Structures are given as structure tokens and as C-alpha cells.
Structure 1
Amino acid sequence: MTARYWTRLGLSLARVVAAGLVGSFVTALGVYIYLLDKRPDLSVWHVADLDEEFTADSGISDFGQYLALEERLFTQLDRLVYDQVPVGPENAINRYSRGSLSDPDRWPLNWNRSFELGHEQPTAGVLLLHGLSDSPYSLRTLGETLQQAGASVLGLRIPGHGTAPSGLVETRWQDMAAAVRLAARHVRDAVGDRPLYLVGYSNGGALAVEYALQTLEDPSLPKASGLVLLSPEIGVSSVAALAVWQGRLGHLLGLEKLAWNVLLPEYDPFKYGSFAVNAGDLAYRLTAHIQQQLGALQQRDRLADLPPILAFQSSVDATVTASALVANLFDRLPPADHELVLFDINRRAEVGSLLAEDPRTVFGPLLAKDTRSFDLTLVTNENPESNRAVALTTAIGERSPGAATYLDDWPADVY
């Protein structure tokens, strides 16, 4: 047998294997699409076209206009969603059934809307930015506490939120960022030259970082005196970049259900149960944009101009990981008045055996790193036999913490 024979045989086998792989992929894709399309039918809150929602192209120049548009949006929500959902026992916990146990209007204030907690003589202004699929409700208690401490507070309803899950099918991160700029200017006008702080949770944390970075490029934006980030969405899995193709494939095939990662009943008055594919995609695009901003500003030595950043993060958060927060944000910052507060597990609860990885693998290397450019505070047990929590702060350049700050006991239901 000649070399030519073996070459032809090898090519033939390669074609067979390639055809098999392609066939397997097409079959798997077909099954995946079939299963996605066999999910429950979409409801009116999944398909309502709420075109009164704010976008970066709305032509709105101040926050008063934003609130006026928000009022029209909720009027449209009543007409397109609430008016279409029957009232009765079968919808007793449906948030879109008027008078149900989950109807947001059962509360004195509908916390799905933007809210302001003003102060006659504010010591500071605070802009609250909620998370993805959440509403201003999620930060209301913090807002009320800050108002009592003397701050003038604005809780922004970020575009796509507080209405119906369909609101996140088309919203872009640029629309959200544009709303943050309007809101920041409004808070600055309300408090004058007093400090302005941005507090962001999850996706709101990413928007706060994006805003602070943008102020270094755009001097017309009011500068923040500090950022407070709660589990900020700084690192998102690269797999999220593929999510958009599911939605595009569904659009191509006319299968609307493919625009959704999760389809669940809507019983929470202030948070969506269903999750649009586009929401994951915009989160990925926003975090990628932030990395581009950081890289460009780092090359020009501008990151030293950022305001102090205080971040709170669980060491066992699987959605927003502490390691991603450090690698994608804190490690890129020059030494300054920044601090990361990490929450350990409750060591006395003995839940470590239930975890795939001990959180010490996350914060251990951070504590040992003497080139760290930020303060690191670990909230953990006083000792494994004690319920008492302590805060151990290791300053920049140090490898061991200073004196412990004693806190309350771990709550009985927190592990």
C-alpha cells in the first residue's frame, strides 16, 4: 500500500468523523431548541411592548423629564399588562393582577418607581443603583437609613426595570448609563457642593464604576466623592457572550421563547422572576466596556483620579466572585484609599464541608500579598467556637491585620 493510499484513507476517515461531529452538533442544537420552545407559553408581561421606556436616544435632558416619562411608562404598563390580567383567586399572588397579594400598589409607595428621600439641610447626596431584574425597592432600607443620617437620597429606577420582564428584552447598558448620568446631575443640583456618593448593587455597582470612569473623560459630569459597591458585577463569565445567539436564533426562527433564559411565575412585587437573554448579554457587554475603560485610563495614569472605592463582597458568591472583583478592578487601581470588605462563612455553623472550596482559598492569597494596593477587611468568627463576628483589617502593604473590631453575633440564619 502506497503513502497515497494511506493519505486518501486518512482524509476519508476525517470526513466521516467531521460529518459525525456536525451531525451530532445539529442534533443537539435541535433538541436544545425543541426543549426551550416546549416551555410554558409566554404571558402578556413577557411580550408587552413598553415603548415609553427611557433610552439614551429619548432626547431627555433632565431628571424631571425622566420622571414625567416614567409616569407615562407606568400608565402604559397599566393598559398593556394590568388591564389584560384577570382578577380572582387563580391570580391571588400574580403581581400583575390588581388587588392580588403581590400587587405593588398594595404598598403606600410603589417601590418599583424612582424615589427621592430629600433632606432640608443635606450633608451629602446619595444615588442608589439597584441590581439586574431588581427595582429601587432592594435599596430602600439603605436609602431610608442614609436619609436619617442627613443625606439627600435618590433611588433610581434603572431602565428596563420595575415594570414587566419584557422591559429587559430590548434595553441596552447604554440606556442604563444615560439614566445614571441624568440622576447624578439631579443629585448634584439638589445638594450643591456637598459630597456626592454612588451606591450600587450588582449591576448597579457596575454602572457606578462605569460612571466614575466616565467622569475622568467627561468633565461636564459631576464627580463622585466615593463609590460604595455591594457585590458589584465586575466579572461575568465569558459564556455570557454566547447568550445573545440564543435570542438571535429565536428571532430568526420566529420562536419568541428563545429570547428567555428563565420563564417563571411573577409573584414578587419588586423583582422579575423571568430573565431575558438580553439581560445577560447587556451585563456581559457592560463589564467588557468597563475593562476597556480601565485599560485606556490605566495607560494614561488616570486611575489615581478615581474617588475612594469601598466594596462589600461575599467570599462564596457564585454569581459575582471575589476573585473576579479583585482581578478586574482592585488589582488595577494604584494605591489609594480603597477598601474591599470580604465576608467569610460562619465558621461555627460547620458548613465548610458542604462547599466545593473553602473561602480561605480566596482571601488567603490576598492577605499574603504585600503588593496589594487596597485595604482588605475580613469579616469572620472570633474563633471557630464563637458566634461573635469580628472585622480584621489588613492595611496596604501589610500581611497581617491590626486589632480586631468586634461586631455583633452572626445572625442565626446566616451561614
Structure 2
Amino acid sequence: MTTSSDERRASRPAAHAPHGLPPRSLARRLLAAVARLARKSALLVVLVVLALVGMRAYLATQGPVLRPWHTLVPDEPSAGAISRDGWPAYVAAEARMFEQLHRRMQSSLEAGDRTPLNRYYDPSLASPASFGHDWNRSFVLEPSGAIRGVAVLVHGLTDSPYSMRTLAELYRQHGFVAIAPRMPGHGTVPAALTREGRKEWMAAVDIAMDEARRRAAGRLPVHLVGYSNGAALSLLHVMRRAERGERRDVDQLVLLSPMIEVNAFARYAGLAGLPALFPRYAKSAWLDLLPEYNPFKYNSFPVRAARESYLVTADLQKAMASVAAQQRMDQVPPILAFQSVVDDTVGARAVVTRLFDTLGSNGSELVLFDVNRKRVLNPLLSPQATDWARHALQGPPRRYTLTLVGTASDDDASVVARSRAAGANGIEVLNTGMTYPADVFSLSHVALPFPPDDPLYGNRPSGLRIVPLGSVAVRGERRALVVSQDSLSRLSYNPFHAYMAARISAKIPSQETGGPGSSP
């Protein structure tokens, strides 16, 4: 008896249902297997997190003990109070807070805290008093003549208004009122950053901008200058106004080492502080517990500060996406930004891809400071970290000007600026008249705002009775210091600061024409 081909095919089990199982039974089995795998994966993740938290708790019982600057939390206004009361009230509350904190700190210091390198010991070499003015506080610089504009300058994370001092003076010399607000939680004690965060920081930026608008009175240009986390806060201020459809209150943005993207750890930094819920493990609330020998910047770093810095960048990315979706990027003022090609704190390439590549044709420019590519140093440089800059000027035309500042060639240390204008294919090369220092292989995230003659971070003697952090050179064996040797060798000043200052000055309206120009 002959069986037809159709009958033979019908008698075979379906290819997608092995062992004769109906398709629905197979699907249920597959879903059950996936569910079991998901449960096992979730359990594994929970076990790994518990193990890491347990290890973190154990490590919190080791190392240095918490000192008064890790436990005394200043009493600062809330974000709501800052926004409601405004700039004069904020500065007055700041003065009261500093006086109160100073009294509490002096009564809390023990004999071992009274050292020549403790910023909280008044006679020390690290005391802010050694500078004749406490640059940890908010300040305003007034021009000597007629006011030609207003600039608001916002410092970075763990920093203080000191880092904006040189640029504030630059603006003052150009006839601008320079307003440098202290971000809440900064300039006092590291413990302050266990409470203050992005909401308070944004409120402080907003009231400083309110003061700038009051002084400008709709007649004078307003510049907003931000450094690192302060650059992210400045850009967020602009983006949120654009997102809400409000009138632009900034004529020019200037960003230094802008924190557009931070490393992945900051996103989950909050987990590292979980054991601090129990008093025994209070030290787990800190990523670093270090001596405080810098008069204007914290060395100790709390977990919460890392988490808040990530949330600032997350808020910024969300606001930028919203502005782009509403097709309001044309409301963003021109941006002049400066960024080191290598940066261990923020994502340098993200400044290109996540910020500048999203802008419209509004006259913006990004200046990248390249590594020292002299033949003797080049073999020591990491290609993964540095090669991207070689290709930055290539590709299709951009909507902004891109400038790369670096060595003329691998056997010539003279510094040139290679620029590709917005929409252009060609590259212009300008000799800057500077030379790449032989002992410097790159700039750093922290270096950009400070000139070589900065009394604290520069490499030239200041004559002050202070510790010159920019020229400290200590040598010895590894693992003998309580601070990392990397932190002591990290470049703390910008050898190309004069070039940067000239580029910023060119964006300041001249007295004669009312347009960009040089100082009178």
C-alpha cells in the first residue's frame, strides 16, 4: 500500500514541537525555564550586592577615624529657603554659618588636629587666613569704572569660589560685575556634603542669576561661567529655562571641564553608603577619609556627593533631551568650552558627542587641550585614552568650531591651535607662542581654571606662608603616605591659561563697539 507524500508529512511531529509536545506546552515550558533563570539571576545579584555591602561594612571598621570635619554638619538654608529669600539673605546666612562653624570647630579640635597641614587649625600653613581673604565664601567683584556687564561664575564639586577667582578678576578688568556664589555644602567642612545636594546647588545658581539680571537691568550682557560640576549646573540652568519656554537670561556660556558625563560608579555610589545606616559603620558613608591640607577644596569625599553629581548629569541629559524634542535648542546661548583630552573625572568625549554634537548653529566652540605628543613621551601615553583626539578634527563639517591645542609635531614642543570652523572642511593652524612644558604629559580635570602663577596651585613661588600644592614634589617608597601619590603628582595648573583667558576675553563685548573684543 502506497502512502502519499502529504500523509507522510502529516504523520511527522511538528519541527517546533519536539517529542510530540503541543506548541502551547512547549511555550509554557520555555517561559517556566526563563522564569527560573530570572529568579536565579536575581538571587545571584542580591547575593553579590549583599557580599559587597558586607565587605564595605567591614572596611568601614578599618582605617582612619572620623574627625570633627567629618561629623560637624553646618546649618545651611534649604533649597526652598534659598529660592524664597534670594541673594542678599543667602550671603548673610552664609556669614552667620561660617562664624558658628568656626566656633564649633575650634572647640572640637584635639591636640593631634593642631598640625601645620590642617586647614581647620588657624595658625597652620593650610589655613584660608593665610591668603588674607577667605575665598571659601561667596564673593562679588565690582569694576572700577562703568559697569559693562555681569558674570556669574560657578565652582565645582568639593571645591569653593576660590577656583573662580582668576576668571572673576578677568571679568572685573573688562568692566563686568563678577558674582561667584558658594554652592551649599562647600567651602566649610566635608561633612556638609552629606546633607547638601543638587537641589540646594541649583537654588544657589538661580538666585545668583536673579542678582545678575537685576544688575544687568535688561541693558547689559550676562555671562554664565561654570567649572566641572558647576558647568553642569550652569548648563542645566539654561536648559531648564529653555524647556519651560522662558526668556533666555544668558548671552554667553563659558564651560571649563564640563561634567556632562561621570563614570558609571557614581550612578550606584549610594549602595556603598548603605552600611552607614548603622552607627558602627558610619565611615562607609565616605569614599575617602583624608587629611584636609587644602584650604579651598575638600580631600575627603562622601558617598552622597558622588551620587548627587551623577544625578546632576542625569537631570541635565533629561532637560537637554526635552529641549531638543521641543525644537528649542535655538534658545541655547553660544557656548565656549575648554576640555582636556584626558580627564579622569568626567567623560571628555561626552563633551563632544552628548553636548556639542546636539547644538544648533549658534556660534559655539569647543577647545580641546591635547596631550604632549613629543616623541620621547608618546610611547608612554595610553592609545585608548588619547588617540580619539587625533581624529577629532576629521569627519563631516560640524555646526560648531572645534579647536585642538597641542604640540606642533612629535619633535617640536611649540604649541599650535588647530581649528576647524563651523561648517568648514579646512583646518587653520595658529602658532600660540607657547611651549608644552617638558615635564607635563597632559592637562587634568582640575587644572584648567588656574594659571601657573596661582599662589596655591601654580608652579611659581607666591611669597605667602602656605603649602604650594602645585609645586609639591615628594619622593619615597610606595604605600607610605595616607594620600595617593597620584593626587600629589596630578597637574593642578593650566600652562595654557593665558591662551584660554584670551579666548574668553574675545567673547566679552568691547567698550567701543558693544561687540566681542579685548579689554580697554
TM-score, normalising length from structure 2? 0.72
1:409 to 408, 428, 435: 435
- After superposing the two structures, state which structure 1 stretch, 80-89 or 365-374, moved more: 80-89
Counterpart of 1:248 in structure 2 is 274
Contact 1:181 1:221 in 2 (8 A): no
Instruction: Describe the superposition over 1:8-57 as per-residue Cα deviations: whole angstroms up to 9, x where unpaired.
Output: xx9xxx99999898767644542332013312111111111212345334
Q: Distance in 2 between matches of 1:63 and 1:222?
A: 20
1:225 and 2:251 are equivalent in the alignment: yes
8 Å CA contact 1:202–1:232 kept in 2: the answer is: yes
Once residues 120 and 53 of structure 2 are traced to their aligned partners in structure 1, the CA distance between those partners, rounded to angstroms, is 34
Aligned residues: 406
Counterpart CA distance in 2 for 1:115 and 1:16 is 57
Structure 1 position 136, deviation (Å): 0.7
Q: Which moved more, 1:286-295 or 1:117-126?
A: 117-126
Structure 2 CA distance for aligned equivalents of residues 201 and 223 of structure 1: 19
Say which is worse superposed, 34-43 or 47-56, in terms of deviation: 47-56
Deviation of residue 293 (structure 1)?
Answer: 0.4
- Cα deviations by residue, 1:338-366 (Å, 9 ceiling, x for unpaired): 11101111222632322222665323443
Instruction: Tell me the equivalent position of 2:133.
Output: 109
Identity of aligned residues (%): 36
C-alpha contact 1:162 1:271 (8 A) present in aligned 2 = yes
Q: Superposition RMSD on alpha carbons, in Å?
A: 2.8
Deviates further, 30-39 or 67-76: 30-39
Aligned pairs for 1:328-339 within 5 A? 328-339=354-365
* Distance in 2, Cα, partners of 1:214 & 1:89: 44
| Compared CA separation, residues 103 and 60, structure 1 to 2 (3 A) | farther
Residues 1:349 and 1:200: Cα distance change in structure 2 (over 3 Å): farther
User: Secondary structure of the equivalent of 1:335?
Assistant: coil
Q: Which residue of structure 2 aligns with residue 4 of structure 1?
A: none
Supply the AA of the counterpart residue of 2:437: P
Q: Give matches, 1:12-411, under 5 Å.
A: 26-53=50-77, 55-58=79-82, 60-86=84-110, 90-119=114-143, 120-192=145-217, 193-218=219-244, 223-252=249-278, 255-348=281-374, 350-357=376-383, 361-411=387-437
Query: Kindly tell me: are residues 43 and 275 of structure 1, through their superposed partners in 2, closer, same or farther at Cα, counting changes over 3 Å?
Result: same
Q: CA deviation at 1:387?
A: 1.9
Partner of 1:232, secondary structure, is coil
Q: Structure 1 residues 222-231 or 278-287, which shifts more?
A: 222-231
Structure 2: give runs of 5+ residues left out of the alignment. Answer: 1-28, 442-520
Give TM-score, length-normalised by structure 1: 0.90
Task: Tell me the distance in 2 between the aligned counterparts of 1:208 and 1:162.
Answer: 19
Q: Judge conservation of contact 2:368–2:403 (CA < 8 Å) in 1.
A: yes
Larger radius of gyration: 2
Specify the code of the residue in structure 1 equivalent to 2:305: A
Name the amino acid aligned to 1:32: R
Structure 1 letter corresponding to 2:346: V
Structure 2 CA distance for aligned equivalents of residues 221 and 338 of structure 1: 19
Residue 86 of structure 1 contacts residue 97 of structure 1 at CA under 8 Å; is this kept in 2?
Answer: no
Which stretches in structure 1 are left out of the alignment for 5+ residues?
1-6
**Partner Cα separation in structure 2 for residue 203 and residue 33 of structure 1:** 29
Decide whether aligned partners of structure 1 residues 17 and 86 sit closer, same or farther in structure 2, where only a CA change above 3 A counts. closer
Provide the rounded CA distance (Å) in 2 between the counterparts of 1:285 and 1:16. 31
Q: 1:82 to 1:89 in 2, by over 3 A?
A: closer
The alignment partner of 1:227 has SS state of strand
8 Å Cα contact 2:338/2:368 also seen in 1: yes
